[in-house]
A and B are shown apart, each in its own frame.
Chain A
Amino acid sequence: MIFFSDFYQIFGYVTSTIGFFMIFKKCDVKWWYSFIPVVREYQIALCSDKEKEGQTYAIINFLAYAVGFMTFFYEEGSTYILIPFFILLALIFALIIYKIRIYVGFVKNFGLSKKWIVFFLFFEGIACLVVGLNKNIQPVKKVVNYKLLDETKIGGIKADSIDDGLTVNITDRSILDFFRKKYLLKDIHLTIPKGHMVLLLGGSGAGKTTFVNAVTGYEKANATIELSKHDVYKEYGKMMYDIGFVPQQDLIRGNDTVLLTLTDAASLRLPSDISFADKRKRVADVLELFGLSAVKNNLVDKLSGGQRKRLSIAMEFISDPTLFILDEPDSGLDGVVARSLFKQLRAIADEGKIVIVITHTPDRVIDLFDDVIVLAKDQRRTGRLAFYGAIKDAYEFFGKSSMEEILLSINQKEEGGEGRAEEFVGKYVEKVQVEANV
């Protein structure tokens, strides 16, 4: 005998399946996904442009099914059944929250009123059916299957290793994201001689941090990175002390004094056989170099933004690294302080170091840089090299007169850019191929 609850469940499943089927067709998702529990909810999240929420929802949903299945093994009336019951209750609560998040994205993508969220929550099947059948309701953004897109041209021409400098040969850098392989970087080959100060330019999500992490060996890529012929990946234990990376945020303990912060940094980064006197001298020199001597006994919390930034840089500079990478060192600084900081970085480069800087306001200090690396997202959203070379060559290559304009030209249209990343990546590949043949 079929009870009302069973009928309601069957009716809900049938209507939601038909609804999902129609919605998936609108969003360019494979129709047969609509029959598979867990998978179909994940696909609906993709249709809602809420991929992360969809992943979490799918995992919780799977766990809920597993816990629900467990309850069949308990004897009727057993108190043990309360344990999975409570877990199930918690999971269902989490599912409801994630469902709300997903449908918030859904109504936005399909241009529906927010009242629809309630409808989706309580009568999901009917709501999906209505949206699926109504031809006037169409998604603003369809689900992109990156695999089906043509791959942007790959140069694959490796940079020759140089004695006095950095050689980067990144074939690719990928991650597994929810059972899918995602390429974060591809086909980046370049050499930077010592004494050069290089600007690393790229829009949001273009892979700047991934590139920096791959170059420093912090997150290894399918690549060969050589610093003066030493393989950074193979000799990472030693090379990490020859590479300084200054993060964007000033990650320093505020309750220590400047002197103690730098002394501890020296103890961590300098070779252990250096005498205490030499260590102290190095700390004093670096304090002097970065203009921190006057505030050396102040607590870090009491420093100004510029002073904190200089301390953050000094902490990495204490080990006198050959490769020095800075992630937005000028964030939060005014123009004058920022320029003074960049002049200091120029002076470091002039001592024969390689300085790579990420900054979002490059034009005010562009005269201090030698070269620029431009990273851009291709149509598969992989970080690609759109240009590497001298500053004036970059202006010529992109046909622009400032770095800001170059950035705008490669940014996606939905980010307010010109969406020409694909074009420049291809053009740069051709340029490199031509140069290699010559």
Chain B
Amino acid sequence: MKEKTIRHTGRLPQTFIYLGKLFRMFIFQNDWKVLPMSAIIAGLVSFAVGRNLFKTMEGTLTGTFALSCICIWNGFFNSIQVICRERAIIKREHRSGLHISSYVLAHMIYQAFICICQVIITIVICLATNIVFPKETLLFSIPYIDFGITMFLITYCADMLALMISAIAKTTTTAMTVMPFLLIVQLVFSGGFFSLPDAAEPLTDFTIAKWGLISLCAQGNYNSLPMVTVWNSAVKMKDIEIEGQKPLKIVLQSIEEKGQREEILKQSGLQNQNPKYNFDLKIVLKCWKALLFWIVIYVAVATLFLEYIDKDKR
């Protein structure tokens, strides 16, 4: 019999073996399709909500929420099926000496590459549809890098959440059934876009959308922007008559004539500032840390569940 004191391929070389496999899959198994898909989604969203993004408070809240949603959607679709579709193969390879940590690390690296590509595509599409990013930055001198990091972390965090689901789910059907449920939770409990009862507020900390939205709003200097809702409502009500007169129309005309419209909108914004969206590096870093924290948690859970893959029934 052979001498058994020999060493076998360690974790790092195994990671590279699997990276090779994943990139081959990118080419041969149509995984590349997630990139043009992200371009189409970004195009549609920026067409719909890009006009007032970083111009007004309302437009920024809607736009950044939509941007977060694009990132979460991209992340989810990147990896929701990647593990469960080849679960039986992983089980076989685990039997032959595969280290689960290497397998997960290979996925993390590969997915990071995909997420970076998607973020670049999304930013390019935003620029192509005339979205103007704020010039003032918090960390790097180029705003696209600041925004890019946030968008990457949102996409990557969603990606790792989907990877975790894919590692837990036994079949692709199960994974795809769970995904919409998670997506709804992300959207509803983002804590910024929909008003939630106080009791549900702690739940928002568990969502990627919340941290993404806060970070993007803070970077977009939300609190310095004008608010148009009050003005638009007043314009709609200008013809209401009170005692034979139209007082709202008179006031609006007066403001327009004196050129105070912008000032009024600015004042309206000042009265509706939200301290959690302050243009503050600490806020952005806190959001990034929260997203990183969830990435670590999702990866740890995915690895832990995959370690028990041998328990899978035939």
Whether chains A and B associate is yes
* Those of B1-16 within 8 Å (CB) of chain A: 1-2, 4-10, 13-14
Distance in Å: Cβ of A282 to nearest Cβ of chain B: 14
Contact with A along B1-45 (1 / 0, CB 8 A): 110111111100110010011001100110000000000000000
Contact A251 B88 (CB under 8 A): yes
Contact B4 A242 (CB under 8 A): yes
Contacts of B4 in A (CB 8 A): 230, 235, 238-239, 242
Stretch at the interface among B90-98, B124-132, B134-142, B279-287: B90-98
Contact A272 B310 (CB under 8 A): no
- B29 — nearest CB in chain A belongs to which residue? A255
Query: In whole angstroms, what is the CA distance A403 to B96 when docked?
Result: 32
Counted as pairs of residues, one from A and one from B, with CB atoms less than 8 Å apart, the total is: 86
Contact B7 A79 (CB under 8 A): no
Contact A256 B21 (CB under 8 A): yes
- A252 — nearest CB in chain B belongs to which residue? B89
* Those of B216-231 within 8 Å (CB) of chain A: none
User: Given A253-B25, A253-B89, are A241 and B310 also a contact pair (CB < 8 Å)?
Assistant: no
* Those of A234-262 within 8 Å (CB) of chain B: 235, 238-242, 245, 247-249, 251-253, 255-256, 260
User: Given A249-B88, A271-B6, are A264 and B97 also a contact pair (CB < 8 Å)?
Assistant: no
Query: In whole angstroms, what is the CA distance A242 to B97 when docked?
Result: 11
8 Å CB contact of B21 from A230, A264, A273, A299: A264
Contact B314 A230 (CB under 8 A): no
Q: Let me know if A95 is at the binding interface, CB within 8 A.
A: no
Q: How many residues of B contact A (CB 8 A)?
A: 32
Query: In whole angstroms, what is the CA distance A239 to B6 when docked?
Result: 11
Contact B92 A269 (CB under 8 A): no
Q: Let me know if A219 is at the binding interface, CB within 8 A.
A: yes
Contacts of A11 in B (CB 8 A): none
Query: In whole angstroms, what is the CA distance A322 to B1 when docked?
Result: 8
Query: In whole angstroms, what is the CA distance A227 to B13 when docked?
Result: 29
Contact B1 A228 (CB under 8 A): yes
8 Å CB contact of A272 from B8, B197, B314: B8
Contact B89 A241 (CB under 8 A): no
Q: How many residues of A contact B (CB 8 A)?
A: 39
Contact A253 B7 (CB under 8 A): no
User: Given A80-B199, A235-B4, are A245 and B13 also a contact pair (CB < 8 Å)?
Assistant: no
User: Given A230-B1, A264-B17, are A273 and B96 also a contact pair (CB < 8 Å)?
Assistant: no
Contacts of A245 in B (CB 8 A): 95
Distance in Å: Cβ of B184 to nearest Cβ of chain A: 13
Contact B310 A218 (CB under 8 A): yes
Contacts of A316 in B (CB 8 A): 96
Query: In whole angstroms, what is the CA distance A272 to B197 when docked?
Result: 59
Contacts of A303 in B (CB 8 A): none
Q: Which one of A267, A268, A315 has the greatest number of beta carbons of chain B within 10 Å?
A: A268
Query: In whole angstroms, what is the CA distance A332 to B92 when docked?
Result: 20
Q: Let me know if A265 is at the binding interface, CB within 8 A.
A: yes
Contacts of B29 in A (CB 8 A): 255
Contacts of A80 in B (CB 8 A): 199
User: Given A251-B88, A272-B9, are A240 and B197 also a contact pair (CB < 8 Å)?
Assistant: no
Distance in Å: Cβ of A45 to nearest Cβ of chain B: 20
Q: Let me know if B262 is at the binding interface, CB within 8 A.
A: no
Distance in Å: Cβ of B311 to nearest Cβ of chain A: 9
Query: In whole angstroms, what is the CA distance A272 to B99 when docked?
Result: 15
Contact A265 B96 (CB under 8 A): yes
Q: Let me know if A344 is at the binding interface, CB within 8 A.
A: no
Contact B95 A272 (CB under 8 A): no
8 Å CB contact of B86 from A219, A227, A253, A299: A253
8 Å CB contact of A273 from B7, B28, B89: B7
Distance in Å: Cβ of B20 to nearest Cβ of chain A: 7
User: Given A242-B2, A251-B92, are A269 and B314 also a contact pair (CB < 8 Å)?
Assistant: no
Contact A267 B13 (CB under 8 A): yes
Residues of B within 8 A of A (CB): 1-2, 4-10, 13-14, 17, 20-21, 24-25, 28-29, 86, 88-89, 91-93, 95-98, 197, 199, 310, 314
A-B contacts, 23 of them at CB < 8 A, read: A218-B95, A219-B310, A235-B4, A238-B4, A239-B4, A241-B97, A242-B4, A251-B88, A251-B92, A253-B25, A255-B28, A255-B29, A260-B20, A265-B96, A267-B9, A268-B9, A268-B97, A268-B98, A269-B8, A272-B9, A272-B13, A299-B28, A322-B1
Residues of A within 8 A of B (CB): 79-80, 209, 216, 218-219, 227-228, 230, 235, 238-242, 245, 247-249, 251-253, 255-256, 260, 264-265, 267-273, 299, 315-316, 320, 322
